[in-house]
Amino acid sequence: MASVLQRMMKELARKQETATPSVLRTVAGGLGLLGALLDAGKLDSGLARHPPVKLLGVDDNAVCRQALVLALKQAFPAPDLASDGEAGLAKAQAQAYDAIFLDVEMPGMDAFDLCTKIRETPLNQNTPIVFVTKHSDFESRARSAACGGQDLIGKPYLPLEIALKALTVVIRERLRQRGIILASAETDWFAEVTSAPAPFGDPASSAVPAVSGPEAPEQAEPPEPQSSPACLEALKNAADDESRQEAIQSLLMAVHGLTGEAQWAKQDSAFQLGCAIENMLSQRIERSEYSADPGLTTLLTAVEAFHELLKPDLSALAEAPNDTAPLGSGLSPAPSPDVTVQRPAQACHRKRGHRHQRVGQG
């Protein structure tokens, strides 16, 4: 999973136009699951291989079926395929699958009806079902959830997005079957935004935990926030556990500021990605073994890509009057009296050729 996440983040940093809400939601879900696995000590190299993973893809378009096969083969063996809803239902009645991917628009039985019928089969009543469709609006998400869908990917998609989504849902479901529930990996992907925190940059309300150590003088000024590139370099070059802890804390503060600026810029998907990175950093602060953490490289790549994704929109804000503080400073302007700043209730708190070509326009 870390390898696929890292490749995805590098692709997003290189081609920012591919960072659609669907892609960023998938990345945030993958980061959240990886962080929860690391925090809970549940890493198992065979979790996504033994027993062999069985996947089903249903799409009436032959080109899209082949694209789905190529995408899923980046993480798993080739899936079973069906060309319409009736054939897909027949396979679901005869074989238990680890995950099922459905195209929404199909002649005869569409994906919503097919999903409802699959939920009635003994073998796949709890199997994760992911819809792949050009209809990714709230109504489609709500309808897919109502009929038993696990998630939804918008077209056009990146092949790596399909691979990462498959890894996420398969690992999560296999953990559930073992009785292991990782709350922070559960993604309520069409939840309403229900909470409104205090403005970012308010020291009294900051979600950034304090680093333990000697008490500071009563009147001591808080340290000047560092930019995220400087924090990344400090973490990469940290020589011991103590300096590494300080670098992680500084990086968390920088990412917290960037996340606030993404919210202010109304980049909801980037905001969710920042929240996932914040969560991973928060979970790592007290870990003395962080230098050996297999998620470190992925985490650093994620922060770098997150910073690059925000540059175009936040630079526009910096030119506006009464703008935000410099990028990565951790400070944002106070909202006007008639503006309510909202934040997802659970998102931030535990909760090459042809390979990178975007696929599927219909």
Query: Where residue 209 falls among pLDDT bands split at 50, 70, 90?
Result: very low
How many percent of the chain have pLDDT more than 90?
Answer: 20
pLDDT digits (tens, 9 = 90+) for 81-138: 999 999 999 999 999 999 999 998 898 898 889 999 999 999 999 999 999 887 766 6
Instruction: Looking at the structure, tell me whether residues 63 and 158 fall in a common domain.
Output: yes
Q: Is residue 246 part of a domain?
A: yes
Instruction: Looking at the structure, tell me whether residues 159 and 283 fall in a common domain.
Output: no
Give me the number of domains the chain comprises: 2
Q: Please identify which residue in the block is written with the tokens 């050009």.
A: 134
Q: In this structure, what CATH number is given to the domain that contains residue 186?
A: 3.40.50.2300
> Within its chain, how far is the Cα of 282 from the centroid?
16
CA distance 312 to 112: 38
How many percent of the chain have pLDDT more than 70?
Answer: 55
CA distance 25 to 254: 21
Q: What is the pLDDT of residue 40?
A: 66
What 8-state DSSP symbol labels residue 82? E
pTM: 0.57
Instruction: Looking at the structure, tell me whether residues 63 and 182 fall in a common domain.
Output: yes
pLDDT digits (tens, 9 = 90+) for 282-317: 666 655 554 445 456 666 667 766 666 666 555 544
SS3 call for 257? helix
Q: What is the pLDDT of residue 92?
A: 96
CA distance 279 to 170: 22
State the CB neighbour count (10 A cutoff) for residue 230. 15
Instruction: Looking at the structure, tell me whether residues 241 and 186 fall in a common domain.
Output: no
Instruction: Looking at the structure, tell me whether residues 239 and 170 fall in a common domain.
Output: no
Instruction: Looking at the structure, tell me whether residues 54 and 182 fall in a common domain.
Output: yes
Exposed/middle/buried for 224, CB within 10 Å: 0-12, 13-18, 19+?
exposed
- Tell which of 163, 190, 217 closes a domain: 190
Q: What is the pLDDT of residue 146?
A: 80
Q: Which tokens in the block code for residue 31?
A: 């980061």
Q: Among the ranges 3-17, 52-66, 198-212, 300-314, which has the highest mean pLDDT value?
A: 52-66
Q: What is the pLDDT of residue 203?
A: 36
Q: Which string of DSSP letters, residue by residue, matches 125-155?
A: TT--EEEEES--SHHHHHHHHHTT--EEEES
Q: What is the pLDDT of residue 184?
A: 44
Instruction: Looking at the structure, tell me whether residues 95 and 180 fall in a common domain.
Output: yes
Domain of residue 282, residue span: 228-345
Q: Identify the CA nearest to 129 among candidates 74, 31, 120, 181.
A: 120
User: Which of 21-25, 45-49, 180-184, 221-225 has the least mean pLDDT?
Assistant: 221-225
Instruction: Look at residue 327 and tell me whether its pLDDT is greater than 50.
Output: no
Instruction: Looking at the structure, tell me whether residues 248 and 150 fall in a common domain.
Output: no
Exposed/middle/buried for 330, CB within 10 Å: 0-12, 13-18, 19+?
buried
Q: Identify the CA nearest to 277 among candidates 94, 257, 357.
A: 257
Query: Where residue 153 falls among pLDDT bands split at 50, 70, 90?
Result: confident
Query: Where residue 3 falls among pLDDT bands split at 50, 70, 90?
Result: confident
Q: What is the pLDDT of residue 22?
A: 79
Exposed/middle/buried for 47, CB within 10 Å: 0-12, 13-18, 19+?
middle
State the CB neighbour count (10 A cutoff) for residue 138. 9
SS3 call for 99? strand
Instruction: Looking at the structure, tell me whether residues 143 and 245 fall in a common domain.
Output: no
- Give the residue with greater pLDDT, 53 vs 139: 53
Residue 239's alpha-carbon distances to 12, 155, 252, in angstroms, are 30, 45, 19
Q: Identify the CA nearest to 146 among candidates 176, 111, 172.
A: 111
CA distance 71 to 251: 33
Instruction: Looking at the structure, tell me whether residues 253 and 313 fall in a common domain.
Output: yes
The residue-averaged pLDDT of 154-183 equals 84
276 and 35 Cβ atoms separated by less than 8 Å:
yes
Instruction: Looking at the structure, tell me whether residues 260 and 332 fall in a common domain.
Output: yes
Instruction: Looking at the structure, tell me whether residues 71 and 185 fall in a common domain.
Output: yes
CA distance 99 to 165: 10
SS3 call for 335? coil
78 and 52 Cβ atoms separated by less than 8 Å:
no
- Give the residue with greater pLDDT, 264 vs 220: 264
- Between the two ends of the chain, the Cα-to-Cα distance in Å is 29
Q: What is the pLDDT of residue 44?
A: 67
